[in-house]
Amino acid sequence: MENITNYCDEIYEILCSLDKNTKIENSDSFIWNDWQYDIELSDMPFSRPIYVTEEERTPEEIEEEEYMMDQVTDFIQTDYELGYIGKRCERIRGRCIDNVVGRFLALSTKDRKLYVRDVLKKMSYISQNHPLADRYAFRRVVVPELFQKLIERFQYYDIPLNRILSTFGPFERARICSLLNIAYKEPLNEQMPNQSVRQGLEDLFVPSCRPFVLQFIVRLEEAGIIMNRKYNYPKKNYLAKLVTYMREQGIVCGGKKRVVWKRFYEYFGVKVVDRRDEGIESEEEYIITESNLFKSENKNISEEEEKDFDLICRVFPSKL
């Protein structure tokens, strides 16, 4: 990801150096690339329709055209004196794209998906934390001509962007989609459970906590405990320990532990079986035995786990 960060660092340094030039009123206007330069010049007011004759022009239109011509001439002259900043920025952008795409193409199909996810995460981070994001050039040039162009390159190689976006929490996903001006459509096999299934989970919580169950699910996703609506944590009885903690905190209702655990696990796509051979036809990662769940009873919650559980459960009124 250093290529994207280095690009933003270089463009920001150029802008800062331009800011020190007393002849320049708008440093961001010099972060051009060649085709944008041609298009924006063609949109200037003096580029009048060919059917407007010289005699039909008003004095105000003539004056405005002359003013704009002077502005463009001054801009071109200043850009020349600066050593063609726009072309320099274009070279930096091209080098960044080549490096990022080159790295992408060198990876396996599986690793490419992870790499694109890392790229999206880096773009999101930069948009929130890099000083370049506060400049007009960021939205006008960096986002469409670097960020969006990279995503277009990735999609050319059949990268499932929706599936990758589904691995982000809803807030970060919305931020990424807004930044890149892309629409997200949740994959059909990964949509939120229907209302009746969700209601079954909500019934496990005490009444005052039920309105906050969706926020709780978002917390689990942000903590990496679930991904794509599936339980994703390496330790299979981690969720059982979390549920036990919530029972002790008065967040989850009472009842038989076995029943409560099973409903939580199955909601997140894990089949609870008596014996391992009962789930032999399913994927190994989505099976857990009841004996494994009950092992969590005999294990004390570590200080680190308690801190994690406390953070996750702060969405509920009793933990505010």
**Residue pLDDT, tens place only, 173-195:** 888 988 898 887 765 544 455 55
pLDDT score, position 150: 94
Taken in order 31, 35, 36, 38, the sign of the CA dihedral is positive
- Condensed to tens digits (0 to 9), the pLDDT of residues 216-274 reads 888 888 788 887 778 888 888 888 889 989 988 899 987 788 888 888 888 888 888 87
Does the pLDDT of residue 116 top 80, yes or no? Answer: yes
Query: Is pLDDT at 6 greater than 90 in this prediction?
Result: yes
Is the predicted pLDDT of residue 283 greater than 80, yes or no?
no
| CA dihedral sign of residues 48, 54, 57, 59 | positive
For the stretch 100-111, what's the b/e string if a residue is b when 16 or more beta carbons lie within 10 angstroms of its beta carbon?
bbeebeeeeeee
**Mean pLDDT of all residues belonging to the chain:** 77
- Please name which of 57, 53, 167, 191 lies closest in space to residue 118, comparing C-alpha atoms: 167
Task: For residue 19, count other CB atoms closer than 10 A to its CB.
Answer: 13
pLDDT of residue 30: 62
62 or 4, which is more confident: 4
Length of the chain: 320
Q: What is the pLDDT of residue 271?
A: 83
- The candidate with the shortest Cα–Cα distance to 54, out of 65, 44, 43, is 65
pLDDT of 170 > 60? The answer is yes
Would you say residue 147 has pLDDT above 90? yes
Which of 320, 316, 80 lies closest to 215 in space, CA to CA? 316
Beta strands at 230-231 and 226-227: parallel, antiparallel or unpaired: antiparallel
Contact 179, 143 (CB under 8 A): yes
What is the tens place of the pLDDT at every residue in 285-311?
Answer: 467 887 777 766 656 788 888 888 988
Among residues 228, 156, 232, 231, the alpha carbon closest in space to that of 188 is found at 228
* SS3 call for 269: coil
pLDDT of 204 over the 80 cut: yes
pTM as predicted: 0.51
Q: How far apart are CA 46 and CA 67, in angstroms?
A: 9
pLDDT confidence band for 54 (50 / 70 / 90): low
pLDDT at 102: 92
The reported pLDDT for the residue numbered 5 is: 93
Per-residue pLDDT tens digits for 87-112: 888 888 889 999 999 999 999 888 89
Give kind and range of the element (H or E) at residue 231. strand 230-231
pLDDT for residue 140: 84
Tell me: the pLDDT tens digits for 152-167? 999 888 888 888 888 8
Give the pLDDT band (50/70/90) at residue 23: low
Residue 192 has phi, psi (to 5 degrees) of -60, 145
- Residue 280: pLDDT over 50: no
Lowest mean pLDDT among 128-137, 138-147, 233-242, 274-283: 274-283
**Residue 31 pLDDT more than 50?**
yes
Best CA proximity match to 172, nearest among 124, 130, 236: 124
4-30: average pLDDT:
78
Which tokens hold the place of 226? 């679930």
- Most confident range, picked from 78-92, 136-150, 197-211: 136-150
